[in-house]
């Protein structure tokens, strides 16, 4: 798919990159078969192939428009299409660039700009989220059910183990933003469970949001500042021999693994970012390499449905790893359907595209509950909160199933 780049983009590295990505598409349409928004709306412009054409038109005309903005906004960036694509098109990267170009015009309606700016002002900061959650929980008894069910209950975190001797294995853990405020038990449980395997988790206090919230909302420079801050916070620990950088939210994991690519042209951070990206691992990757027999007798053996997030399956190409880990400790897994489809959370998507998000959520819950499991587990905070807001059974982070000593 040839792109005749408009002269106004002749000096834009991002536009040139987008043109190359567009040219790798052979417009076969296989992607539409696994695209959640296309399967819901059956509009070519709401499938990957159609959105690629919209980006192509912007690059050639030099005129981003409301039509392109509308359909790019509707994309979940679930990257299911990347798993399907026979040509290996890096669609997620292309959509990010397309959104940056569209928002660079400044023509987005004022109310939309305000809402997106507020999301960027709140979500990357755990303290701000914590304050809002506290207010929401205080007023929950008088809120309408439609609002109340979106407020996660306060969690009992439990004590974390003392650090092991200096010779113990050490890994860095990303504290994150939303997860650290809404479900703090996740990292606490990971710390306890890994401690039993002889691994200490260390969190750098100066680190925070991975940068995904701002970056995927088109504020690329702002998102990259978060990445640089995290690299600075982690680097002394990396130099001290940390074995890996662990993310317990798969959405953050995709972003951290991409640090090297995102900062490849930064003369100061390129080498460090590449090293950080190489060290990044999702929590399930760590357990996939460990002897888990110590958990076999005491793990939560409730019948469990696994929701493998898009960011784990398509973004990190780790489909099946989580199920394998849980299978090793003997947790009975219920059958599920349509595992490739998104639950509709997708970061801030559930707030910006609520109607589409709700339809996808209903479809996903029906697919997860087909065998009447006792609980659902997932590997991403956004999915956990989104599924939990409507599920008839408890929704947890999967690491909690191995943290039975603390919960018993």
Looking at the domain assignment, is residue 330 inside a domain? yes
Torsion of CA 240, 244, 245, 247, to 10 degrees: -150
Q: What percent of the chain has pLDDT over 70?
A: 98
User: Do 185 and 259 fall into the same domain?
Assistant: yes
Instruction: Kindly state the tokens that stand for 341.
Output: 């489809």
Distance between CA atoms of 297 and 331, rounded to whole angstroms? 10
Q: Are 45 and 35 in contact (CB under 8 A)?
A: no
Q: Is the dihedral of CA 89, 93, 96, 101 positive or negative?
A: negative
SS3 letters across 305-358: EECCCHHHHHHCCCCCHHHHHHHHCCCCECCCCCCCCCCCCCCCHHHHCHHHHH
Residues 314 and 362 both lie in one domain: yes
pLDDT at 167: 52
Task: Give the three-class secondary structure for 1.
Answer: coil
CA angle (160, 163, 166) in 5-degree steps: 165
pLDDT band at 408 (very low <50, low <70, confident <90, very high): very low
> Helix or strand or coil: residue 169?
strand
Q: Can you tell me the distance from the alpha carbon of 254 to that of 154, in angstroms, rounded to the nearest whole number? A: 27
Domain match, 86 and 182 both: no
**Residue 232's domain is classified under what CATH number?**
3.40.50
Task: Name the residue among 407, 387, 373, 223 with its Cα closest to residue 304.
Answer: 373
Least confident of 51-60, 100-109, 252-261, 339-348: 100-109
Give 377's strand partners: 306, 396
Give how many domains the chain has, as a whole number. 4
For 261-312, what is each residue's pLDDT tens digit? 999 999 999 999 999 999 999 999 999 888 888 898 888 899 999 999 999 9
Same domain, 179 and 231: yes
Residues 84 and 122 in one domain: no
Residue 250: alpha-carbon gap to chain centroid: 5
Q: Residue 396: exposed, middle, or buried by beta-carbon count in 10 A (0-12, 13-18, 19+)?
A: buried
131/56 same-domain check: no
pTM over 0.75: yes
Q: In terms of domains, do 45 and 86 share one? A: yes
Q: In 3D, which of 337, 339, 338 has the Cα closest to residue 322?
A: 339
Is the pLDDT at 151 greater than 90, yes or no? no
Domain extent, residue 337, equals 294-407
Residue 51 covered by a domain: yes
Asked if the structure places residue 155 within a domain, the reply is no
Neighbours of 90 (CB within 10 A): 16
Q: CATH number of the domain that 37 lies in?
A: 1.10.1060.10
The verdict on 277 and 175 lying in the same domain is yes
């Amino acid at each position: 798919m040839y792109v005749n780049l408009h002269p106004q983009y002749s000096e834009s590295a991002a536009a040139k990159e987008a043109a190359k990505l567009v040219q790798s598409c052979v417009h076969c349409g296989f992607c539409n078969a696994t695209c959640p928004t296309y399967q819901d709306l059956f509009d070519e412009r709401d499938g990957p192939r159609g959105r690629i054409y919209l980006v192509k038109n912007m690059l050639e005309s030099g005129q981003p428009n409301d039509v392109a903005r509308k359909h790019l906004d509707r994309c979940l960036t679930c990257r299911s299409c990347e798993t399907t694509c026979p040509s290996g098109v890096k669609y997620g990267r292309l959509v990010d660039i397309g959104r940056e170009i569209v928002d660079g015009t400044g023509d987005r309606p004022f109310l939309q700009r305000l809402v997106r700016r507020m999301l960027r002002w709140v979500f990357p900061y755990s303290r701000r989220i914590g304050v809002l959650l506290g207010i929401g929980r205080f007023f929950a008894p008088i809120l309408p059910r439609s609002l109340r069910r979106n407020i996660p209950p306060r969690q009992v975190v439990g004590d974390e183990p003392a650090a092991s001797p200096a010779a113990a294995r050490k890994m860095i853990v990303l504290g994150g933003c939303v997860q650290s405020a809404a479900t703090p038990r996740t990292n606490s449980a990971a710390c306890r469970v890994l401690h039993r395997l002889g691994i200490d988790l260390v969190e750098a206090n100066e680190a925070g949001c991975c940068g995904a919230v701002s970056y995927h909302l088109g504020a690329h420079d702002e998102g990259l500042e978060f990445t640089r801050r995290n690299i600075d916070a982690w680097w002394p620990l990396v130099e001290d021999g940390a074995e890996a950088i662990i993310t317990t939210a798969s959405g953050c994991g995709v972003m951290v693994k991409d640090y090297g690519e995102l900062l490849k042209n930064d003369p100061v951070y390129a080498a460090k970012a590449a090293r950080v990206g190489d060290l990044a691992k999702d929590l399930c990757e760590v357990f996939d390499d460990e002897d888990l027999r110590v958990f076999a007798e005491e793990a939560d053996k409730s019948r469990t449905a696994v929701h493998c997030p898009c960011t784990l399956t398509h973004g990190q190409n780790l489909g099946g790893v989580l199920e394998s880990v849980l299978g090793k400790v003997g947790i009975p897994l219920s059958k599920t359907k349509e595992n490739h489809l998104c639950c509709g959370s997708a970061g801030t998507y559930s707030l910006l595209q609520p109607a589409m998000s709700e339809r996808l959520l209903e479809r996903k819950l029906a697919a997860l509950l087909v065998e009447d499991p006792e609980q659902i587990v997932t590997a991403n905070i956004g999915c956990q909160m989104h599924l939990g807001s409507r599920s008839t059974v408890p929704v947890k982070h999967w690491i909690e199933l191995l943290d039975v000593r603390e919960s018993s």
